[in-house]
Amino acid sequence: MIYKILSRAEWDAAVAAGVFAGSAVDLKDGYIHFSTADQVRETAAKHFAGQTDLLLVALDPARLGPALKWEPSRGGALFPHLYAPLDPALAASIADLPWNGEAHIFPDV
């Protein structure tokens, strides 16, 4: 699985529209950012610290097709980037990602 952290409002809008084009940083960078299970906690700490009302959306990378590219980022680690809009119906699971005042509380990933 790969994971997308985003606000509940962003996800609700995507579900209503039937497509997720990306959050502000995704639109700026030209692709939708994802993280692996090993990367997602660091992503949350680095880019989402203190934010509430977040969701963790899990997706099967095999269902995203050739628009999913694995590219080097932090320290050379390969991160999944989707160069296409995302169909919200492809979500394998959606979980709340609550903030406890110090860190986000993750479900098992």
Distance CA 97, CA 87 (A): 21
Contact 20, 86 (CB under 8 A): yes
| 6-59 residue pLDDT tens | 999 999 999 999 999 999 999 999 999 999 999 999 999 999 999 999 999 999
Q: Which residues, in sequence order, are bridge partners of residue 69?
A: 81
For 41, the token pair is: 């906690």
Contact 5, 107 (CB under 8 A): no
pTM score above 0.85: yes
